[in-house]
Amino acid sequence: MVKLTEGRGKELFRKYGVAVPRGVVVGSAEAAERATKDGSVPLPCVIKAQVLAGGRGKGGAVRFASTAEEARSAAAAILGSSFQGETVREVILEEKVAIGRELYVSFALDRTARLPILIASARGGVEIESVDDAAIDRQTIDPFPGLLAYERRQAAHALGLTGPLAGELDRLLSSLYRLFDREDAELVEINPLAVVGEKLLALDAKVIIEDDAAFRHPEYSAIRDDRTPLEEIAREKEIAFVQLDGNIGVIANGAGLTMATLDVLKEFGGAPGVFLDLGGTDDPKKVSEAFLLMALAKPRAVFLNIFGGVTRCDTVAKGLVAALESVPASERFPLVARIRGNAETEGIAILRAAGVTSVPDLKASAQAVVAAAKGGA
Ligand code: GDP
Ligand code: MN
């Protein structure tokens, strides 16, 4: 998933003809002050953290300034701070506009209908998830003819726009749909879309590019803002590896078993910190590589939950033991294993020889690893 920051999203908006306020993205408080002094950003202005998380308005990451000095101190306050775990390295500075109304529009993929969908709501400026269903207008779009005039008119009607503003919306939706289509986006969202006099301005931009189309867009290959450094290494090695907030490492095989393992740990009060899905791999080299990557995330305890179908438990165990030996003693962590299925007996024997016990019962093994992560044996 290639998630663009607001600044990058707005560059695309400009390119496709979606109106955005005048503004710049800067990385320092000095640059913020300069931008307001040299006229690149008119005062009063808005200063917003360039992070991928939403809800910045509520979270104090959107500020207003009416002098260059205020712009500087607002930028200084936001830069370097952490917003939902993300360090703020850049802020966007924009002219502050006098908002008449805040609307919501987006194009997304409706996975059930298997079609693009146009979502419009007159209740913009708040998270769309919190808006009453009755106040949201949804239209699936046939991608072959593309977005049609009557669909744009229906959206205008849903947003309560008439006259010149309906014309503005018509052009905006055409541009936005073109962006969605040509850039292979899975989401383009404007929230809020501000009514400013007889104009519509996109005050925010959320653009996510479909990962499966990445090969068609080498220009996005440098943007990996949503991956942690370890996730980036994992991607290059083609290992399914995801970092979470907790402290228990999970190694499982297959998406279903992996998700179920995370649920079971949660159920018993544990907090999964990183998980990797071996998929159909039992190549000991791959297992070792994946395990060592997990060790770099410094889990407090690791839960190995393997079901051997095609995968052989003994080869997984071999790879794991090989990797265990190369983890320095000071960085070792308790390991709880549960391996069942194909070549289970051989696998258990290999683990036992390396001092790892396999606990066959799911509940008991999950409880053991939760206890270990909390500082137990
Ligand atoms: P988010 O909270 O992360 O989605 O950040 P947004 O960019 O959507 O900004 C949050 C809110 O700040 C908006 O819904 C507006 O109410 C307000 N805001 C942003 N830009 C302006 C502006 O130029 N003028 C005014 N008056 N309010 C703004
Ligand atoms: Mn927003």
- Domain extent, residue 114, equals 102-220
Minimum-distance ligand 1 atom for the alpha carbon of 59: 2
Q: Are residues 233 and 353 in the same domain?
A: yes
Buried b (16+ CB within 10 A) or exposed e, 303-338: bbbbbbeebbbbbbbbbbbbbbeebeeeeebbbbbb
Below-70 pLDDT ranges, the chain: 224-226, 376-377
Residue 185 CA, ligand 1 centroid: distance in Å: 23
CATH number of the domain that residue 56 is part of: 3.30.1490.20
pLDDT at site 48: 98
Query: Mutation test of ligand 1: which of 6, 96, 204 has the most ligand atoms closer than 8 Å to its C-beta?
Result: 204
Q: Which ligand lies nearest to the CA atom of residue 61 in the structure?
A: 1
How does strand 45-49 pair with strand 91-95? antiparallel
Write the pLDDT tens digit of every residue in 262-310.
999 999 999 999 999 988 777 888 888 888 999 988 999 999 999 998 8
Please return the burial class of 240, using the count of CB atoms within 10 Å of its CB with bins 0-12, 13-18 and 19+. Answer: middle
Residue 9 lies in a domain: no
pLDDT at site 330: 82
pLDDT at site 36: 97
Angstrom distances, CA of residue 356 to CA of 253, 290, 310, 345: 19, 18, 23, 14
Q: Is 104 a catalytic residue?
A: yes
Q: Are residues 215 and 343 in the same domain?
A: no
Minimum-distance ligand 1 atom for the alpha carbon of 96: 23
Q: Are residues 112 and 192 in the same domain?
A: yes
CATH number of the domain that residue 169 is part of: 3.30.470.20
Last residue of a domain, one of 75, 95, 115: 95
Residues with CB under 6 A from ligand 1: 21, 46, 48, 54-57, 62, 96-97, 99, 102, 125, 191-192, 203-204
What is the number of domains present in the chain? Answer: 3
Active-site option among 189, 231, 289, 344 = 189
pLDDT at site 123: 97
Active-site option among 104, 151, 168, 186 = 104
Write the pLDDT tens digit of every residue in 41-76.
999 999 999 998 889 999 999 999 999 999 999 999
Contacts 24+ apart (CB under 8 A), 131-136: 131/104
pLDDT at site 226: 66
Q: Are residues 241 and 260 in the same domain?
A: yes
Closest residue by Cα to residue 356 from 316, 319, 325, 321:
321
- Ion ligand 2 neighbours, Cβ < 5 Å: 191, 204
Residue 13 lies in a domain: no
Q: Are residues 205 and 268 in the same domain?
A: no
Query: Mutation test of ligand 1: which of 10, 46, 78, 189 has the most ligand atoms closer than 8 Å to its C-beta?
Result: 46
Q: Are residues 282 and 371 in the same domain?
A: yes
Q: Are residues 161 and 289 in the same domain?
A: no
Minimum-distance ligand 1 atom for the alpha carbon of 127: 4
Q: Which ligand lies nearest to the CA atom of residue 194 in the structure?
A: 1
Other beta carbons less than 10 A from residue 215's beta carbon: 9
Q: Is 344 a catalytic residue?
A: no
Q: Are residues 40 and 126 in the same domain?
A: no
Q: Are residues 235 and 370 in the same domain?
A: yes
Residue 7 lies in a domain: no
pLDDT at site 142: 98
Minimum-distance ligand 1 atom for the alpha carbon of 58: 2
pLDDT at site 332: 86
- Measure CA 359 to chain center: 35
Last residue of a domain, one of 220, 253, 273: 220
Last residue of a domain, one of 186, 220, 254: 220
